[in-house]
Structure 1
Amino acid sequence: MSDQTLPGGADHERTLLGHDLTLTAADVAARAGLSVRQARRLWRTLGFPERGDERAFSEADVEAISAVADMVSDGLVDFDLALNVVRGAGLSMARLADWEVGALIQPIEEMFADTVGPGATPTEAARWALEKYGDRFETVLLYAWRSHLAAAVARIESMRAIDADPHTTDLTVGFADIVGFTALSNELTREKIGDLVEVFEARCGDVIAANGGRLIKSLGDAVLFVNEDALGAFATAEGIIKVIGRDKRMPDVRIGLATGSVVMRLGDVFGPPVNLASRLTQVARRNRVIIDHDTAGRLPSDQVETRPLPARPMRGFGVMEPLTVRRV
């Protein structure tokens, strides 16, 4: 879909996307076999604003909207489910695009100046980079999507082998957050805070993947992850403490682990273990892992040892007795 929020309007769109904007929303909807209302809902769900009766759309918009309409027409999904899928794509691509522009615009402008000449606008430099390297980025995107799709299907198969509900399964949920992030935000410059968050998320993501887990989402000063087994989640927590909390250049972290039945939907996880893992971080000491009894019961006693902490009230769970855990 065309990104109708670029500075400078249609000229920037035409420069970056290479399409002439000759169609109205009604034109696109008619050619895709949808109502204008449905087409506009799709655009909004993808994260793009409506453009009224302007000629603000191109053949690429027709192709994208038609692809969704065809899946609905074939009965693969109904329109509401199509909106859910489109919403996930829009959110993911918006975040990826923001990250890519933030990380790459400076080196792209420098390379453009060295190769073509100085004085280019960011749009001109970006268009040059897209023409030169766009197909390579698309190759990586398609490869990553297919690989993650295969992994997601494999997870569904393993869940169905255990439980008839493909959306519900037992997992260990981990929540790791930076200690004193609010105070840090007041002390550091915006640029340094951005660098800190980027390093935190990147290091956590590497550790989570290395231990067979999955990064569900990053919340700036915290990450939410899951592992299929408790020992893998504990190894993930240990790794995060090693690469974040033990690095004198980074702040301390606190990690909570909780195990139980969760609902997996639209790439997110929901259920009591998610909330409990978050609550546990609030009682964890710096660079320590706090767990619940369900997690403790699934950890091998010959590899780790647990120690109960004093019982305390936890919002939404009543009075609970968390445990500390460490390697034997």
Structure 2
Amino acid sequence: MSDEAVPGDGDFGSALLGQDLTLTAADVAERAGLSVRQARRLWRTLGFPERGDERAYGEEDVAAMSVLADVIDDDLFDFDLVLNVVRGAGLSMARLADWEVGALLQRVEDAYSAQAGDSGTPAEATAWVFEKYGDRFDQVLLYAWRRHVAAAVARIESMRAIDADPHTTNLTVGFADIVSFTALSNELSREKIGDLVEVFEARCGDVIQANAGRLIKSLGDAVLFVNNDALGAFATAEGIIKVVGRDKRMPDVRVGLATGSVVMRLGDVFGPPVNLAARLTAVARRNRVIVDHDTAERLPKDQIETRPLPPRPMRGFGVMEPLTARRV
């Protein structure tokens, strides 16, 4: 159990969370109809450190745990499945919170200073903006979540029409990374590196969505995406090179595409095409697209020209012959 101070302590936590923190973990578990072990397990899985016997919880914690307890009691989901879903929510919300605070905190502090007439602390500024705009943030988050659920169900239905197992399907996987990112990190300030990564992710995301692809995850200097067909993936790769690599203010990029069967789990994709797409970027030239043979076979010859490169060893795949791809 952790005794370190964490966000949520004291008056700031009460103000930000909109509740008085007067309950212990045992209190929350009893009122929610869970064992203390279950409540603590759910809490950890959401990504929060345990607080021992401290009075670090409030009525909203009881309400949230009660909802999960009701779902388990209804036998719709068992405890392990609830943990699985909760883990995804915790990971996603933690990253979203870090993203929002990093993007908004300076602006929030400036606005609070102008309103209050003094500098104030980041905690005071954050509590102020949540009191003023918290309900609107909640509305946007719920809207985005429902829209994404609808899109995810549509994808599952589409895959189920093709394959009995909707979690395994054939896709073209793309991996795009910034060339010499480590060297850039040593040359640029932390602020400029942050700006570069933000612009890179935003531009890649726009291109991926415009070409009916899906951004699976961003890794700072790289993005992983999928398309249902090879031509769509090539158009995505081509677009990323255009808006990033061809912009003189941005670094060069490399893109690898691989096609095959992947497993879709927890918002991520797994399988040989994922690893191969990443490996292909290592042998791609700057601002070029490199593909495997399965992808090349699916690209229309009257639109895309592919040319084999010399065979070379690729970790985990043996000796392979990659191909360059360009529009005719």
**Structure 2 partner of 1:43:** 43
Cα–Cα, structure 1 residues 300 and 142, in superposed 2: closer, same or farther, change >3 Å?
A: same
1:75 matched to 2:75: yes
Aligned-pair CA distance for 1:115: 2.5
Cα–Cα, structure 1 residues 7 and 64, in superposed 2: closer, same or farther, change >3 Å?
A: closer
Equivalence map 1:109-148=2 (5 Å): 109-148=109-148
Q: Which letter does structure 1 place at the counterpart of 2:310?
A: P
Cα–Cα, structure 1 residues 170 and 155, in superposed 2: closer, same or farther, change >3 Å?
A: same
Equivalence map 1:1-328=2 (5 Å): 6-7=6-7, 9-328=9-328
Q: Could you tell me how far apart the structure 1 residues matched to 2:278 and 2:215 are?
A: 15
Q: Could you tell me how far apart the structure 2 residues matched to 1:263 and 1:79 are?
A: 24
Aligned-pair CA distance for 1:20: 0.7
State whether residues 112 and 119 of structure 2, in contact with CA within 8 Å, keep that contact through their aligned partners in structure 1. no
Q: Could you tell me how far apart the structure 1 residues matched to 2:120 and 2:169 are?
A: 53
Aligned-pair CA distance for 1:246: 0.5
DSSP 3-state at the match of 2:75: coil
Q: Could you tell me how far apart the structure 2 residues matched to 1:193 and 1:98 are?
A: 17
Q: Could you tell me how far apart the structure 2 residues matched to 1:5 and 1:64 are?
A: 23
Aligned-pair CA distance for 1:130: 1.1
Aligned length: 325
State whether residues 6 and 12 of structure 1, in contact with CA within 8 Å, keep that contact through their aligned partners in structure 2. no
Q: Could you tell me how far apart the structure 1 residues matched to 2:26 and 2:6 are?
A: 22
State whether residues 12 and 124 of structure 2, in contact with CA within 8 Å, keep that contact through their aligned partners in structure 1. no
Cα–Cα, structure 1 residues 104 and 259, in superposed 2: closer, same or farther, change >3 Å?
A: same
Q: Could you tell me how far apart the structure 2 residues matched to 1:293 and 1:10 are?
A: 59
Deviations 1:129-174 (A, max 9, x none): 1121111111111111111100000000011101011100000000
Q: Which runs of 5+ in 1 are unaligned?
A: none
TM-score by length of 1: 0.96
Q: Could you tell me how far apart the structure 2 residues matched to 1:216 and 1:7 are?
A: 29
Deviations 1:253-289 (A, max 9, x none): 1100000000000000000000000010010000000
Q: Could you tell me how far apart the structure 1 residues matched to 2:264 and 2:8 are?
A: 40
Aligned-pair CA distance for 1:30: 1.1
Q: Output the aligned Cα RMSD.
A: 1.3
Q: Could you tell me how far apart the structure 2 residues matched to 1:165 and 1:139 are?
A: 34
State whether residues 21 and 58 of structure 1, in contact with CA within 8 Å, keep that contact through their aligned partners in structure 2. yes
Q: Which runs of 5+ in 2 are unaligned?
A: none
Q: Could you tell me how far apart the structure 2 residues matched to 1:140 and 1:8 are?
A: 23
State whether residues 216 and 269 of structure 1, in contact with CA within 8 Å, keep that contact through their aligned partners in structure 2. yes
State whether residues 8 and 17 of structure 2, in contact with CA within 8 Å, keep that contact through their aligned partners in structure 1. no
TM-score by length of 2: 0.96
DSSP 3-state at the match of 2:161: helix
Aligned-pair CA distance for 1:117: 2.1
